[in-house]
Structure 1
């Protein structure tokens, strides 16, 4: 039976609108048309200009037959066309597939085919790898190829298509009357997982989730109007953690950066008054360990966000010395990037650096607009005790979750089993509710029947003053089954032996947790700075053990 609050009170166009981040740029262009939107080299582009270019892109794509639920792939660095694609592509009703710019041709070919790309926008830097990928495609379906020109890169070595990006935009209408999605559940973006085993999975985002996470970014950071955001985080990674849409929401400034290096970052911070940036731990460590001359004149108060691994004490201390305010977040591709935050409590500031680092290393609590984040038993789905000891799996649910995996209903069903998204990260929950990762389920080392957390060992390695980066994986052992193998990247100029590393670990770890092998060298990393443990596992089998 209908309630009195249902009868004659249906949704209609006047009282219900699908949530989408596309409205953010429309409002900002209306309210702050002359405010600076994009900085790239000598380019200075206002929000009115940016909005008009996005509408031109949408209009032109539709003229070329691209519309609802068609995939538009882009192979772009953090440049203005990448910002514009986050609005122009979905304004055409299409789905944006931002490709990882460091992938090999075979993987790119798979993604183009699997995602059924109808168009591909390519920066000149990646024309060569894309040309190889196109030759490897299995599909015969045509792709509209669009070449970007960028003076900061130089002349393109080869052109893939007959149409340049600027020529495409010239075909479009700056006043194009784009439409909201018919349903906020409509797809807005397609992002591929790293694919460490087998083919990568296609993660499908919806308009509602993109809008909700963009708003949560503002709330978690207390991000002010007109914030100046530096693009150190690749926009292809979880759509830049939804920050292209977040920056538009706050009428902020996108300071583009083709390449990440310490000199370029510090220069941009000083020149443009950067207030916010994001990145993996390797990005922040790059700044902490940069020459002192580069740090001169850097203003205090820059807000930075870190994800991908818990920030070690040395990084937190180094960021404090820079005067930067570090926020630790946690997430995955399947949840639009960050979905949990280690919200800092006021009394933490009075604690010593070691205790602050311990507290800040936790993954924390759910984002404002996420319904729930808990540690639960992966089999029974029951919540584990909040005792900081009982291990379970981090599970999430709410608006900030993907639609599912493209063309993979079995994987989607398994990921959402029991009404929760299963992250695969093993963790404990402290009495204050904060969640702390202990390991990925696949990264637990089982030695002589004892479970060893690789993250626990890595935390100890990071305390060594000579260590820049560290990763621990299982090494096959005839007696124990597995033993820890440490891969260590040293700071420039540092000299330390494997025996020194082991001696350091013995001061902080139980004997069975101490690495039996130590390998020095640069660690393999993804384009977002995450250490590729699957590559290290391949090497661990041939690493020599240390006598101890």
Structure 2
């Protein structure tokens, strides 16, 4: 007897499509607000109508299922509408990383081959000389906040401009019947901003995005009020919407019907104004953005009044975490990557745990966190076998979850390498504690190999960040004749601490040796004060550039 169920003839199969994320909000959140910087505010009822209008605009462009629609915009209501309308119409949304170099931006467009480009007028200089004759782009929709028209921008290709976004929506019907289709249909694609070679395209299906959204809401919803998300929260991204779906939060916030605030370009004064005026209560960002808004708050002598903030992308150091908490931010860590959509783990909080000291609490907030629901996380050794738990069992973190990208776009060989032996390889070196906490100790490519021993650059950075004079720090390996590699610490001092001596900062590492936290060979041989550290397009420390800059810094 078969154990496959047979549904009633008229039963609805409920494919896991992006459109299903709107079901609850359409019923209960019609009057909830969506705010775009200081430029626009409207309700969810308007949002649903605008999603329909955009679908009708796209429907008039002679597209077919599977065509790519690319967006180049700041974080805006337009982007939010595209998150839903494009994949719900059975097209693929390409979120273009506008912080890449112009050459890399054009590479990603040429590789994904969009038929439609939604283009913010501020980015027109990046594409005005683009060779449209040899391009897949047939239609340009003009996005503008500054009264700039597209007249004459594209020369002989001006006929590709279909109109300005708001005017097109205003002229379109506000009813659209979004179809059902296979939930495994690709919904989105974007490109990793890797520091080597050309960017690689990752892609996600409707099913993956829905499962990621449900898991994100459930996992953060399980946290206490001081860290978790609830229906009364006000959400604002401080991670770009072009990067890993702004960590999936716009989908989660819309599904749950939260008030949403979109800041446009990330200017510290505007971010601070919106946090205060719109009563933003939950956000997420990389450490670079956190440092930026902390400085703005300090200049204003303002507090964040318990703003919940998830940090990812780069390591949250204890020094930065303490500075954030001192300013009234409930800061904690999430972990993921472009290939994981991105949520994999979160710092775990419980109301019933024993009272922690301030030092223990800050250390916990900086941990990589425990796997969220449905994630299978393991640490593998060189034989591609699990090595067990505990600090002594370090290896590569590998993953399984239902929302991980299945390959790279048009790059099967890289996809096979990513999924070797049936688990996704993160190239992060880690160990898993017996209580389930993941501790990332370094990137595979950033580990410093000195005298046959591995030194964790992240661990040394964390220790040095605790010095009150340190604004930012990165540790890289430089060539050494005796040991192969030795650590070099690159330190950015706070503006009011420019007279700090190297020995003052080095003493922190030496104290960590005395306490048994790091080995003696982990103390950097050299320290260099710098004005700033190179960053990638999404604000991570660009250690590849640093290693090139200081390749001749080796000791003799």
1:64 pairs with 2:42: no
Query: Which digits, 9 at most, give the CA deviation of each residue in 1:382-426, with x for residues without a partner?
Result: 222212221111111121211321011111112112221111101
**Aligned residue for 1:144?**
139
1:329 pairs with 2:334: yes
Mapped contact 1:517–1:544 kept (Cα < 8 A): no
CA distance in 2, matches of 1:11, 1:367: 35
- Aligned in 2, Cα 1:295/1:191: closer, same or farther, shift over 3 Å? farther
1:443-454, aligned counterparts within 5 Å? 443-454=446-457
403, 414, 418: which is aligned to 2:417? 414
**Aligned residue for 2:76?**
79
CA distance in 2, matches of 1:142, 1:280: 33
CA distance in 1, matches of 2:286, 2:245: 15
CA distance in 2, matches of 1:293, 1:263: 10
The alpha carbon displacement at 1:295 in A equals 4.3
500, 504, 507: which is aligned to 2:511? 507
- Aligned in 2, Cα 1:522/1:319: closer, same or farther, shift over 3 Å? same
Query: Which digits, 9 at most, give the CA deviation of each residue in 1:309-333, with x for residues without a partner?
Result: 3322222222322332223100000
The alpha carbon displacement at 1:541 in A equals 0.7
CA distance in 1, matches of 2:8, 2:444: 44
1:94 pairs with 2:118: no
Query: 1:541 aligns to what SS in structure 2?
Result: coil
Query: 2:454 aligns to what SS in structure 1?
Result: strand
CA distance in 2, matches of 1:157, 1:320: 49
368, 372, 386: which is aligned to 2:389? 386
Mapped contact 1:443–1:473 kept (Cα < 8 A): yes
Query: 2:458 aligns to what SS in structure 1?
Result: helix
**Aligned residue for 1:6?**
4
- Aligned in 2, Cα 1:526/1:217: closer, same or farther, shift over 3 Å? same
* Structure 1: gaps spanning 5 or more residues: none
Q: Which stretch of the first structure deviates more once superposed, 190-199 or 256-265?
A: 256-265
CA distance in 2, matches of 1:243, 1:396: 21
1:19-418, aligned counterparts within 5 Å? 19-132=16-129, 134-135=130-131, 139-151=134-146, 159-160=153-154, 161=158, 162=161, 163-180=163-180, 182-222=181-221, 223-292=229-298, 294-296=300-302, 298=303, 300-346=305-351, 350-368=355-373, 370-377=374-381, 379-418=382-421
The alpha carbon displacement at 1:63 in A equals 1.3
525, 528, 538: which is aligned to 2:535? 525
Q: Which stretch of the first structure deviates more once superposed, 154-163 or 307-316?
A: 154-163
CA distance in 2, matches of 1:534, 1:206: 32
- Aligned in 2, Cα 1:505/1:13: closer, same or farther, shift over 3 Å? farther
- Aligned in 2, Cα 1:428/1:486: closer, same or farther, shift over 3 Å? same
CA distance in 2, matches of 1:451, 1:411: 27
Q: What's the TM-score, normalizing by structure 1?
A: 0.92
Size of the aligned set, in residue pairs, is: 536
Mapped contact 1:312–1:361 kept (Cα < 8 A): yes
- Aligned in 2, Cα 1:464/1:173: closer, same or farther, shift over 3 Å? same
CA distance in 1, matches of 2:137, 2:91: 16
Query: 2:115 aligns to what SS in structure 1?
Result: strand
- Aligned in 2, Cα 1:101/1:349: closer, same or farther, shift over 3 Å? farther
Mapped contact 1:55–1:91 kept (Cα < 8 A): no
The alpha carbon displacement at 1:43 in A equals 1.4
- Aligned in 2, Cα 1:476/1:141: closer, same or farther, shift over 3 Å? same
- Aligned in 2, Cα 1:67/1:329: closer, same or farther, shift over 3 Å? same
**Aligned residue for 2:13?**
16
- Superposed CA RMSD in Å reads 2.3
CA distance in 2, matches of 1:538, 1:138: 38
**Aligned residue for 2:225?**
none
- Aligned in 2, Cα 1:380/1:508: closer, same or farther, shift over 3 Å? same
The alpha carbon displacement at 1:45 in A equals 1.1
Mapped contact 2:36–2:76 kept (Cα < 8 A): no
